Amino acid sequence: MREAISIPHLTHRPPRSVGMAAPQHVRAAPLARALRTRVAASVSATSPVTSRRALLGLSEPELRQLAVDLGQQSYRGKQLHDLLYKSKAKQIQEFSYVPKVFREALVGAGWSVGRSPVHHAVTASDGTTKILLKLEDNRLIETVGIPVNDDKSSSRLTACVSSQVGCPLRCSFCATGKGGFARNLHAHEIVEQVLVIEEMFKHRVTNVVFMGMGEPMLNLKSVLEAHRCLNKELKIGQRMITISTVGVPNTIKMLASHKLQSTLAVSLHAPNQKLRETIVPSAKSYPLGALMDDCKNYFLETGRRVSFEYTLLAGINDAKEHAEELAELLHTCGGGYHVNLIPYNPIQGSEYKRPYRKVIQAFVDALEAQKITTSVRQTRGLDANAACGQLRNEFQKNPLLESSPSSESEPNLVPA
């Protein structure tokens, strides 16, 4: 196992009050107004501790307009784009081939790159690497890099990214929920997770799954902004991105309206409402019938199949009868579905147990007998405590003393 990586946190400097004055000969274009609106929105949604504006996440046209607003020629924005997404610069001071006056203007106007230092990293024997990032407000988030080499000698690198600091939904089997909830992540804090994985592996990320800490649908605005950046700026195909949810009322409809070509993964974990409520407490506010209707409509509106995640808990939801009931439920919502079975990963302090292999196979056989496409997720990173459902470690059990007491508890549901 690779030794832990520890990098000191950069000293926080609050932004100075310097406006973004454009040259007198430049007229305010719609793009300029859109950029200023987006910046204002990002500042209003930012906690008092995290008050700097992040360049990471902005598109090339937005960066070009920012350059013009700060008195530079438009092509300087293209240089910023290359520095952010190709060179992966972490600080404005690293922008070596843009004028010093431009760098000073960016800092003076309150801009930063938006990158966080690596606080700790550990690698499992299978190559899975868990990385802790220390955010500007001293909170920790986890992201996981999962390398896969297939039979065709090609390699994939999947980034499992977090969307929140902790999770408010507290699913009974999930380690993340047991650690509490602090706030939503901003879009740049999601994007930077992919960049740090690429740096750690020295390999391009090919797939992204929103299956880390948090419920993505409770932070849909930032998730969609990050999705756009990953697709347009980092050139990760939409079909290589998966957005996971345990189910939040009305949000699947909102996501479907964007007609993304990404996969929706719904964490089901039970074939009926009564059992699901014992495993997923938030299910009480989102009846299973309504959830399945929304999944059906998502498929009809986007043409993308829905993947149903089902964590197998020994003696709880893993019987043949549960599989048959699940198959019946899926048949009622039409086609376009797939079941991904996840054998439970034991965590400290939990009474749940992992089913035996023969029980897992019997569940698979029962589903396939009903013509349900089924797969069993390969467990990765167990010895790094980084497998799905294990995003917690000694650092989260003992939060940093300097952590801010403020939190963002309101859902961030309005798409940009």
Q: What is the DSSP string of 202-224?
A: TS---EEEE-SSS-GGGGHHHHH
The first and second tokens of residue 404, run together, are: 């801010």
Find the helix or strand (DSSP H, E) in which 289 lies: helix 288-302
Amino acid at 92: I
Buried b (16+ CB within 10 A) or exposed e, 367-395: beeeebebebeeebbeebbbbbbbbbbee
Amino acid at 82: D
Find the helix or strand (DSSP H, E) in which 242 lies: strand 241-245
How far, in Å, CA of 193 to CA of 209, rounded?
Answer: 11
Question: Which residues does residue 123 pair with via DSSP β-bridges, in sequence order?
Answer: 129
What are the distances in angstroms from CA 99 to CA 71, 104, 283?
A: 12, 9, 54
Contacts of 112 by beta carbon, 8 Å cutoff, 6+ apart: 52, 53, 54, 55, 91, 92
Quick check: is 3 catalytic?
no
CA-angle at 394, arms to 392 and 398, nearest 5°: 105
Quick check: is 410 catalytic?
no
How far, in Å, CA of 280 to CA of 352, rounded?
Answer: 14
CB 199 within 8 A of CB 153: no
Q: Which of 136, 142, 215, 233 is catalytic?
A: 142
Q: Among 206, 180, 194, 44, which residue's Cα sits nearest to residue 116?
A: 194
Q: Which of 171, 174, 229, 388 is catalytic?
A: 388
Q: Where are the alpha helices (DSSP H) in 19-152?
A: 30-44, 60-69, 75-85, 100-108
State the catalytic residues.
142, 388
